[in-house]
Structure 1
Amino acid sequence: MRRPLIAPLALIAGLATLASASPALADTPPVLPVISAVGADPNDAGYLDFHATSDSAIDPASVTAQLTFRVSGERPVTTVTGFTLVSGTPEDGTWRTTARMALGAHGDYDAVVDLADADGDHPAYLGRAVVRYVDLPVFSDTALDRTALDFEHQSVTATGSVSTFDPATGVTTSGWTGGTVYLEGTRGSGPWEVATTVQPDGTYQVTGPVHGYVYVYAVQQDSQTVNTELVQVSMTASPTRIVFDKPTDTAVYGSAYTVSGTAQYLSPTTNTWTPLPASDHDIEVGLQGPNGNHAYELTSGGRFSEKLDTVTGDTTWSALTGGYGYLAQSTADAHLHALSRSVLAWSDHTFTGAGAIRVKGSLTASAGPRPTGRVELQQSQNGSTGWTTVATVTPNAAGAFDAWHTLKHPTGYLRLHYSGSANATAAVTSKVHLTRSVTRITGFNASPEPVRKGGTLTVTGNLQRQNGSSWTSLSGQRVAIYFRVPGAKDGTRMATATTGNGGKFTVKLTAKQDGTWSATYAATSQYLNTTSAGDYVDVR
């Protein structure tokens, strides 16, 4: 009774076997085309390029491109067909439009590319790109007048021609529809550019203060740029130097002082040191000194200066220039040594009849430390020239001095003089005029010689005063007669005589013993004192 069930069971088993084997019989998933590198030819925007890969050959007839003009409002769409394989294989190659695209207007377009391969497969993602369908500037004959810049040649001039390539026609015409080209390079710490208008024939000339990688460029309709080849332009910094008018100098304590000098550069043209120009306001000299740190623009001839209102001690100025652009940096120092302001005073210049003068005074300073060194007593016959040092005196620790000096020729003018030192100024006092005349006794004689004891001795002589370079008789003056015994230090006044005409005086005395006779004239307010030579008389 159970046999009729066998066949259905076998059928069920077979169906189960077929069901378990069905996955191995399923279709393999297709390999879809991939589109990349969509865009206009960089050198000719009239053609559209793209790259495609697939597991089977791309069908050229299936390739279409939709280009939508990027404008506001209604956006015109142009369909482009007809593509040719230009490199690679149909399975992996680059395609280009067979003919130049005829787009309605110049500008940017959104391009979408679709295609199919031999299996009929389309890409999962369509090829997309922005196509720049604009005039292309074409540069030629580009040249620079120099590729090495220096301080005297800070600009580059670029010349050349630029033409316009139209992607719609493929025709190149002279001139640039954009109208302007730009010279760009580096200046300072950033880019720098200069614009110029292109001439109708397409030529241009543009000059700019640039260096580094220099090039000319033009701006297309879509604000993209096309550049010429980059040219390396070097720059050389010229050596500089600062020349102080007085690298080392002196000034008196309490005085004002101006430090000054010239900033120079070594000319790359003449190889000579040349003042930096005042016209370039970027060029400065920095000074660090008693007034702080300050920068000064140069005046004509590369000059600079700074005033110090009050000198209070030794001072140094440090100057700096250059170190930027076309100028190398240089530094220099100027040193100022402060001098004490010497004050020389002659407080007592008493003059004695014997020709001695008192040299009493002080050497001090009105500003700065007290000066040191000797003080000179100087004499001049006319008070203007011919000052001669006749004596010196050394001040004590407080600067005071007090001494007497006998003048060999007590006439003319006297003054005190301090010649100064490395740390103090010179100084001089006012003049002292010696108004009393020098006198002398000539022809003095005591006779007879020998003479008898108790006999009469006649003493005579002549009194004279100096009158310039000559001598004049002095009458009406009293002359004292002195006698000094042998061995005695001083003589004894024996008589007084008055000079007569010609300055002659005569005295008659009694001879008592051997000894020396002389005549002395005492100083007055007009005349200096004098003593004659002695005359020894033998008394028998």
Structure 2
Amino acid sequence: MGTTTLAVFASTLITAPAAQAAYVPLKSQVTSEEKDGRIHAVYESYDFNLRPEDVSIRIRKKGGAQVLDTVRIADRCAPESDCWDEKFLSEPVTLPELGVYTMDVVVREGQPDEFVYPDRGDLDYGLAPRLTVTGDRQWISYDSRLVKVSGTLVAEDPNTREVKPFAGASLSYRARTGTMGSRLRTDEKGRFAESLSFSEHNTDTEIDFRFGTAQEQIVLPFRKQEMKLRMDTPLGTVNAPYGSDVPVKGRLTRIADDGTEKPLSGHDVVIGSQKTLVTRKDGTFSTGYTVRHRETVKVAPRASGWFGTQPVHFFEVAKSPMTSEFTSVKAGVDKYRKVTLTGKLGVSKGSYPEGTSAVIAVEHSTNGKTWSSVDTFTAKYGSAFTRSPAKKGSAGSHWRLRHTGISLTSTSFKLGRKSTELVNDDMTPEGVRKGKTLTAKGSLIQKSGSSWKSFPKQTVRIYFKAATKGATWKKMGTAKTLSNGTFSRKFTAKQDGTWQIRYVDTPSTHYADHGREDYIDVR
């Protein structure tokens, strides 16, 4: 049986007389080999201060303490040699039965400076090993990336020559190019199994399995599938205004192993020099290509080893005029400070493909001179749009729209209302008996320039939410503000809950305001 190499690393000293020298890790390796129908330990020398004649090998069952056999190195190293990187066979090994054993290296056995280095390698006690290997796939492809390999290892018992499963044996496998490699260990019945994962780069699919002199190979042809690219738009020459985004839509599919056409999801598609996007679950992709100048645009999926010829599509972009324009733009701010801009994006002349769009920015300015973008959205040419940015309205500021692809802005609008505020709003008393009177009171003020003034003749609403699960706010009544802005309204206490006063019945010149939430305990 051939050699099974096992790398040797730092070890732990088992026994050593008290007077011996400091422990030195063993670099030399120990494996096993079949020769002339007998099994031998193999000592591979990598220690300059250690000669083969100083070494003996003790053999034990894995995990066991009993020494079953001790052999010395039979080969000798020339006196003038340093023995470096040479292999030396031991005397033949005799063990109870076929199996995998562990070997301890003993240096200068029986002498005062004896060292024992335990578990330095495996000894495979078996003759004429034979491998069988099968896979659950006949080829490798996009649909068959994972191959489950299984097999068995048997060998002759050196004592009886009976063929038996070789349990606990360590065998290796690798691709012919060395791109894949690992070790497997057989179970008590000599069986082993492994899942081999392939990528688009693993075109070499001849996998060799080895154990000593035994070798078995499985060959899995690498099958490339056909990739197909279907373009919905654009299909010819694109005429569109400068800075607009023309729609680019398509679908990527593949011809599967069963001959059916299936969507190719999660695959990169490159659109000219502008964008790379990933196909959806159904293989579709869509984006906008920004028109800048006359050019030929290439659409192509990323090349992949899973597939054969790469399909491509080209479309032409004609010279693009500056013809975009905003029409019917309006802006307003409601009583809750929500700013809304509406309008339509189109062209002053010319045409564009259906679905052509542009990114529009909502811009804000406190002085009408210095502008900053507070929101962006996509508007389609020829379609009306409505947009409300997250930024709220103030007492007075400027708003406009900007086409981000070109230097085009809409008319600007100065929007604002006067601020209002509910102050000293309260429900009294805080604790009240059921059936007693509760009073909602407070003041309403309005901002006038840099100062605040009372806001008379206004209606405020009083709301209540019961302290029960699922309760909602209910309007309980209203109150009118007096000339000094104060108001009050009495209610009968019925149950625990939260009260709130709100000013929402505003004129178009003022903002609304909500008072604080006040919890009242009704006893």
Q: Which TM-score band applies after superposition, normalised by the shorter structure?
A: 0.3 to 0.5
Choose 1 or 2 for highest CA Rg. 1
Query: TM-score normalized by structure 2?
Result: 0.37
Larger RCO (CA within 8 A; separation ≥ 6) = 2
Query: TM-score normalized by structure 1?
Result: 0.36
